[in-house]
């Protein structure tokens, strides 16, 4: 399994029929970056990947968000839209969590069973 560092990259959503959607991505792997996440932001271009993570909360967030729970192979095991001020249920098989503005994941084709890949800005998978 790849080990990422805090920074930027691209999320590639692999759709049916061989198509793929590229999405700007922030990568948060340090405790500090994961803890901050989307807190205090009014919006987000693309998505943020929290790794490792198996649950999230939306306390002190200003907007509803889409949350996708990923297993160790980066397959989506659950997707949920959460309003501010909620505590998400941890997912046992989840190793990573993707967060985006509400509605974005449906637009990108992210659903249960979807496979994604992460390309870090430094060129590492």
Q: What mean pLDDT do residues 86-105 have?
A: 94
Q: What mean pLDDT do residues 83-95 have?
A: 92
Q: Label residue 17 by pLDDT band (50, 70, 90).
A: low
DSSP 46: S
Would strands 65-70 and 47-50 be described as parallel, antiparallel, or unpaired? unpaired
* Mean model confidence pLDDT for the chain: 90
Q: What mean pLDDT do residues 43-68 have?
A: 92
Handedness of CA 41, 61, 104, 26 (dihedral sign): positive
Q: CB atoms < 10 A from the CB of 41, how many?
A: 14
Task: Write out the two tokens for 113.
Answer: 């069973």
Counting residues of the chain whose pLDDT is more than 70, the rounded percentage is 94
Q: What mean pLDDT do residues 45-54 have?
A: 94
Q: What pLDDT does 86 receive?
A: 92
**C-alpha closest to that of 26 among 3, 51, 62:** 51
């Amino acid at each position: 399994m790849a080990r990422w560092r805090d920074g930027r990259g691209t999320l590639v959503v692999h759709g049916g029929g061989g198509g793929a959607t590229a999405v700007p991505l922030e990568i948060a792997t340090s405790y500090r970056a994961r803890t901050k996440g989307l807190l205090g932001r009014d919006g987000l271009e693309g998505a943020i990947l929290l790794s490792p993570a198996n649950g999230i909360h939306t306390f002190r967030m200003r907007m509803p968000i889409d949350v996708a729970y990923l297993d160790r192979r980066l397959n989506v095991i659950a997707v949920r839209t959460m309003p501010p001020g909620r505590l998400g249920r941890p997912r046992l098989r989840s190793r990573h969590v993707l967060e985006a503005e509400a509605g974005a994941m449906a637009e990108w084709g992210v659903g249960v069973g979807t496979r994604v890949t992460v390309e870090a800005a430094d060129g590492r998978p």
